[in-house]
Amino acid sequence: MDDERSTAANAQLALLLEVSGTPKPGNVDREREYDDLRFEHFMAGAVGARDGLELATEGTPVGRAFERAVAGMSQQRGGNTQFGALLLVTPLVAAATQGHLSRQGARNVVANTTVDDAVNFYRAFDHVDVAVDDPPTGMEPLDVRQGSDAEPALRDRDMTLEDVMEASATEDGIAAEWTDGFGRTFEAAHGLTQSNGPVTNRASALFLALLASEVDTFVVTQHDAETALEVRDRAQAVLDGDEDPYELAAEFIERDINPGTTADIVAGALFIALERGLSV
């Protein structure tokens, strides 16, 4: 048995390091939590996800591995802790397992997804409530909240998981990564490997930089576009030294503003960086 961390272990560690970064305005971190969504739920979520992540390293198709990771992640009382992070990390784990943890390698994983992967992706929504927008008119049969009930519609339309992601890439930051070779995630990983200091500090600094660079689509879903623009601009104000990150974190928690998509990209970037030798 090799003592080095396996690919699945690096993916699990990425989830744990992501939530350990602080301050991360609006999200649960080591020093901030909600009464019903606590730091301990993220610990249990990362523990439960491990077996599904292992499957992704053993050649199980990404849809199934993701569904299993979500099933394990959801075995805690906080609800959705790492759904988006697992959606981002699972194809990267598959790419790493295939020996091609690169944008092209990730594109190949996405291109090779099947209708079964799409069915399993929908099935994952059976395990946990995820905040999503209502679908456009006529698309109700493909509302992800249908969960496994969407299977006939997916098979009728012959939709692969790549097709599903393309359909929501404009509204969802994770789907956008899926359809763009995970460009923001790889770029963020490069930033992590180039920086210094405690990894959790690098993760929280990356979170702020990403938050200031693009609108967080989860905030759009959870609140509205105006709130998401405000979040982006105030993250920039922190970077400019015009706002205190701790005060902003307290305010966002108070207003229930959770830039979850940005956190998911940090988790994906941490995974890539760990695979590339980032030391903890």
Chain residues 164-203 in contact with its own copies, contact rule CB under 8 A: 198-200
Candidate ranges 34-42, 91-99, 178-186, 205-213; the one touching its own copies (CB under 8 A): 34-42
Instruction: Sort 65 into a burial class: Cβ within 10 Å, 0-12 / 13-18 / 19+.
Output: buried
The tokens 């799409």 sit on which residue? 118
Paired residues of 32 in beta bridges: 29
3 binds its own copies (CB under 8 A): yes
Q: Are 268 and 18 in contact (CB under 8 A)?
A: no
68 binds its own copies (CB under 8 A): yes
Chain residues 4-23 in contact with its own copies, contact rule CB under 8 A: 4-6, 9, 12-13, 16-17, 20
> How far apart are alpha carbons 58 and 61 in whole angstroms?
9
Q: For its own copies, which is the closer residue by CB, 120 or 217?
A: 120
Chain residues 213-252 in contact with its own copies, contact rule CB under 8 A: none
Q: For its own copies, which is the closer residue by CB, 141 or 191?
A: 191
Candidate ranges 66-74, 129-137, 206-214, 228-236; the one touching its own copies (CB under 8 A): 66-74
Buried b (16+ CB within 10 A) or exposed e, 193-228: eeeeeebbebbbbbbbbbbbeebbbbbbbbbeeebb
Collect all residues with Cβ–Cβ distance below 8 Å to 91 and sequence separation of at least 6: 62, 106, 109, 110, 178, 182
Chain residues 83-142 in contact with its own copies, contact rule CB under 8 A: 127
Quick one: tokens of 167? 């359909």
Task: Report, in Å, the least distance between residue 115 CB and its own copies.
Answer: 22
50 binds its own copies (CB under 8 A): yes
> How far apart are alpha carbons 115 and 161 in whole angstroms?
6
Residues near its own copies (CB under 8 A):
1, 3-6, 9, 12-13, 16-17, 20, 30-31, 38-41, 43-44, 46-48, 50-51, 68, 71-72, 74-77, 127, 198-200, 279-280
